[in-house]
Amino acid sequence: MGELCQAEIAIIGAGPAGMAAAIRLTQAGIRPVVFDMGNAPGGQIYRQLDVPVIGETLSGTDYYRGRDLLGDFSRADIDYRPRSQVWWGQCESDGVSLGVVDAAGVSRWHVKRMLLATGSMERSWPFPGWQLPGSMQAGAAQILFKEGGLVPEASPVLAGSGPLLYLLAWQYCRAGCAPQRILDTTPASRYRLPLRYLRGAWQGRHYLVKGARMMLALKRAGVPIHHGVEALEATGKHRVERVHYYWRGHWHHQDTSLVLTHFGVVPEPQLGRAIGIPYDWHEGQQCFLPERNRSLQARTRVWVAGDGGGIGGALNAEREGRLAALSMLTIPTNDVADRKRERRRLEQRRATDLAVRPLLEAMFRLPSHWLSEQPDTTLVCRCECVSLGELRRAIEQGAAGPNQLKAFTRCGMGPCQGRECGESVTRLLSTVQALPPQEIGYYQVRPPVQALSLGELAATATDA
Amino acid sequence: MFQRIAESSVIDGVDIQLDGEICRVPITLSVAAAVLFIKGDADYRRHVDGHARAPFCLMGCCHECLITIDGEPNRRGCLVSVAEGMSIERQLGGSQDDG
Give the CATH number of the domain where residue A384 resides.
Answer: 1.10.10.1100
Per-residue pLDDT at A462 exceeds 60: no
Domain assignment present for residue A65? The answer is: yes
Domain that holds residue B33: 13-89
Q: Cα dihedral angle (A186, A190, A192, A197), rounded to 10 degrees?
A: -130
Would you say residue A421 has pLDDT above 70? yes
Q: B20: distance to nearest CA of chain A, Å? A: 23
Domain contains B35: yes
Domain assignment present for residue B98? The answer is: no
Q: What is the pLDDT of residue A60?
A: 87
Structural domain count, chain A = 3
Residue A105 and residue A47 share a domain: yes
- Indicate whether A161 and A97 sit together in one domain: no
DSSP code, position A132: S
Same domain for A247 and A277?
no
Is residue A271 located within the same domain as residue A235? Answer: no
Residues A277 and A389 in one domain: no
Q: Do B81 and A39 touch (CB under 8 A)?
A: yes
Nearest Cβ partner of A48 from B28, B64, B75? B28
| Cβ separation A453–B72 shorter than 8 A | yes
Q: Considering only CB atoms, which chain B residues are within 8 Å of A134?
A: 41-42, 54
Within a domain: residue A446?
no
* Per-residue b or e along A348-382, where b marks 16 or more CB atoms closer than 10 Å to that residue's CB: eebeebbbbbebbbebbbbeeebbeebeeebbbbb
CA-nearest residue of chain A to B58? Answer: A140
pLDDT of residue A456: 76
Judge whether B95 lies within some domain: no
What ipTM was predicted for this assembly? 0.95
| Interface contact flag, A415 B66, Cβ < 8 Å | yes
Would you say residue A445 lies in a domain?
Answer: no
Asked if pLDDT for residue A240 goes beyond 90, the answer is: yes
For residues A15 and A107, membership in a common domain is answered with yes
Cβ–Cβ contacts within 10 Å for residue A213, how many?
12
pLDDT value of residue A7: 97
Is residue B96 in a domain?
no
Do the domain assignments include residue A461?
no
Asked, for residue A90, whether it belongs to a domain, the answer is: yes
- Does some domain include residue B34? yes
Higher pLDDT, A426 or A464: A426
A114 and A36 in a common domain? yes
Residue A248 CB coordination number (10 Å): 10
In this predicted structure, what is the pLDDT of residue B14? 96
Q: CB B3 to CB A382 under 8 A?
A: no
Are the beta carbons of A150 and B36 separated by less than 8 Å?
Answer: yes
Stretch among A153-157, A192-196, A271-275 having the lowest mean pLDDT: A192-196
Shared domain for A160 and A259, answered yes or no, is: yes
Q: Is any Cβ of chain B less than 8 angstroms from the Cβ of A82? A: no
Of A52, A121, A133, the CB nearest to B41: A133
Residue B17 lies in a domain: yes
B-chain residue closest to A453, CA distance: B99
For chain B, say whether A56 makes contact (Cβ under 8 Å): no
* From B2, B64, B96, residue closest to A382, measured CB to CB: B64
Q: Is residue B77 in some structural domain?
A: yes
Q: Is the domain of A298 the same as that of A410?
A: no
Give the CATH number of the domain where residue A222 resides.
3.50.50.60
- CA–CA distance from A292 to each of A18, A280, A421 (Å)? 17, 10, 25
Query: Would you say residue A442 lies in a domain?
Result: no
Q: Cα separations (Å) of A444 from A79, A193, A214, A309, A404?
A: 32, 38, 41, 19, 10
Note the pLDDT tens digit of each residue in B6-24.
777 778 999 999 999 999 9
Does B57 contact A58 at a Cβ distance shorter than 8 Å? Answer: no
Regarding whether A56 and A98 lie in a shared domain, the answer is yes
Q: Residue A348 domain-assigned?
A: no
pLDDT of A179: 98
Tell me, yes or no, whether A31 lies in a domain: yes
Same-domain status, A131 and A232? yes
Give the residue from A279, A310, A331 where a domain finishes.
A331
In the predicted model, is pLDDT for residue A1 greater than 70? no
Residue A52, chain B, CB below 8 Å: the answer is yes
Nearest to B46 by CA among B97, B94, B3: B94
Percent of chain A with pLDDT over 90: 87
Q: Closest Cα of chain B to A84: distance in Å? A: 10
Looking at the domain assignment, is residue B41 inside a domain? yes
Residue from B4, B5, B38 to probe the interface with A (highest A Cβ count within 10 Å): B5
Domain residues for A378? 371-433
Computed over every residue of chain A, the mean pLDDT equals: 94
Long-range Cβ contacts of A192-200 (<8 Å, 24+ apart): A193/A359, A193/A362, A193/A363, A194/A359, A194/A363, A197/A358, A197/A359, A197/A362, A199/A355, A200/A355, A200/A356, A200/A357, A200/A358, A200/A359
CATH classification at residue B53: 3.10.20.30
Per-residue pLDDT for A90 more than 90? yes
Q: State yes or no: pLDDT of A204 exceeds 70.
A: yes
The pLDDT value recorded for residue B97 is 46
What is the per-residue pLDDT across A303-348, written as a single tens digit (0 to 9) for each? 999 999 999 999 999 999 999 999 999 766 667 888 899 999 999 9
pLDDT score of A451:
83
Q: Is A237 on the interface with B (CB under 8 A)?
A: no
Q: Are residues A154 and A221 in the same domain?
A: yes
pLDDT at residue A332, rounded to an integer? 63
- Between A54, A121, A150, which is nearest B57 by CB? A121
Residue A453 forms contact with B (CB below 8 Å): yes
Q: Which residues, given as ranges, of chain B have pLDDT below 70? A: 94-99
Give the pLDDT confidence score for residue A207 in this predicted structure. 86
Rounded to the nearest 10 degrees, what angle do helices A422-433 and A402-409 cross at? 110
Count of domains observed in chain B: 1
Residue A140 has pLDDT above 70, yes or no: yes
What is the least distance, in Å, from the CA of B60 to any CA of chain A?
A: 8
Give the model's pLDDT for residue A194.
87
